[in-house]
Chains A and B, each alone.
Chain A
Amino acid sequence: MRFERRESASPALTVLAPLGAIGAALVVAGLLIAVAGANAFEAYGLILEGAFGSRLGVTETLTRATPLILTGLAAAVAFRARLWNIGGEGQFYLGALAVTAFGLVPGIAGAPAPVAILACLVVGALAGTLLLLVPVTLKLRFGVDEVVTTLLLNFVAILFVSMMIEGPLRDPLAFGWPQSMPAPDAALLPKLLERTRLHAGLLIALALAVAVWWVQARTVFGMRARAAGLNARAAGFAGVPLARTLALVGCLSGGLAGLAGAIEVLGVKGYVTTDLSPNYGYSGIVIAMLANLNALGVIAAALFSAVMFVGADSMSRALGIPSYIADVTVALSLLTMLVAIFLTQYRVRR
């Protein structure tokens, strides 16, 4: 058996690949549910019902998708340029923490809402960018591989958050529970629907997905970033300023992940704890890959993950199947997606 490169990937295959990948992942996860003694079809039915069956379910799914779209974009932007930013989780936390710290600046609490919101979002994005600039600088200056440094900095960032919310940023009114001061009221994102958690952050995330798509598809910077990712040497010879492009990609990617954290605080939680993120940063990597690094595809992939996570919670309560099955399915779909992308590029010959 050998593999032969296809001349060009057919459009049909490109569309079918993610669907096939998700289907395969669902089959394997279904087997795992069956082994645990439940009916897989019933479980998937309950997952869909939990995610779509009620007003609450739909809004929860969209609320859950919001940070996932942003962390997915963060990974997609970086991976396109072969900048392996695996530090989305840490950048998310620093963005979230920065917002609550910024709220202590005099004047923010009294500012008009649009100004306060915009200022907080910028601060959150900057915090994420700053954290990613450390490994990017180490890569460009010393040739240190960014995979391990971004991964290790996730742990440092979360310990830093824990230190701050038990120290200077601790909320004295939280009954001894380590949580940060609340974010400034003026900067809280407006709700999209009454009596739900759905907030305006979803619109920001969707707008940014379109903006990132436009940057990637229609600007010189987008083309340079992609060229750097496809073949850095060739891009360098063609006159692409590699270091500057990678640094800019890093700013964009870290900023998006930091923004995800800021929006989660301003839209949902209102304060920071060390369990603010159920692995949003890491899930972003899966979402970016499921979307084949396409910014608009990220929206669909984030929705798929959100459906799994929200639906699995209610399915778990009904059937006693651990809700970790959602994480298993999403992780599996990353692996099956890799194979699916491979099959769009190669044909198998005997």
Chain B
Amino acid sequence: MSKTASNAALLIQFYRDMLLIRRFEERAGQLYGMGLIGGFCHLYIGQEAVVVGMQAAIEPGDQVITAYRDHGHMLAAGMEPDGVMAELTGRSGGYSRGKGGSMHMFSREKNFYGGHGIVGAQVPLGTGLAFANRYRGNDRVCLTYFGDGAANQGQVYESFNMAAVWKLPVVYVIENNQYAMGTAIQRSTSETHLHKRGVSFNIPGEEVDGMDVEAVFAAGRKAVEHCRRGEGPYILEMKTYRYRGHSMSDPAKYRSKEEVQEMREKHDPIEGLRARMLAAGAIDEAGLKAIDKEIKDVVAQSAEFAQMSPEPDPKELWTDVYA
């Protein structure tokens, strides 16, 4: 593996990928406000370092699956912003031709397996993807993401048990953003250090600063290599934070403005990396400006595409029910 976190090009890639997610999500929020996106729409703003660091830690052919706060995962996996945004607007140019929406998108090509709307359901599914790797005897690894809310679902532990018994190559990435919808983790969870949840299954786990993309990348590589060596599952608890509400309709009155402000100002993953890159001389202000401009254009283009793409043909109602 040639990737090292000290590599300036890699840091710039992290920055670009995180910024794309941030700007994309901000635009999605706007489009939602304009009534162009409907239903549930869960924004990833604040958590960008987690998917960007983890995606960099895997290889082509490794799989990714997550729940419904999934736009960031798809962009990190290399799915086209146009297709993701057009799915959000329910248009034929979307990844699911408008039939999935924000919570249900997939890309076989990019090994992104959804996009699942039921809290915790993606955990056995991801474990099954890892099972398929082992069944086929390849060395692929599956990243299975879930949140601190899903960590209280029974099927997560059913999965842990099978993954450990059968030594399946799955990294369980727990995105602990500290609120299961509106319930603070302390109010819902007896042991709030979720990386310990694998102890009784003999699954190693560690806590990671999920606001620091380099820390995520380093932990991710270690976990992925553990799986690839055939040593079974691994748990990474990413301590992270979402700035927005649970979904667009959430006023987030369960936490103080000061708390959010503190995270934004002192722990923002993008600002943090930006400062570190400048300090290290990895990039200069002009270089950052160029990236900002590039991302802004990509996102503007995706919003344009998502509004111009036609609605699905009424015939689509009846297709894809059966293969």
Do the two chains bind?
Answer: no
Residues of A within 8 A of B (CB): none
Residues of B within 8 A of A (CB): none
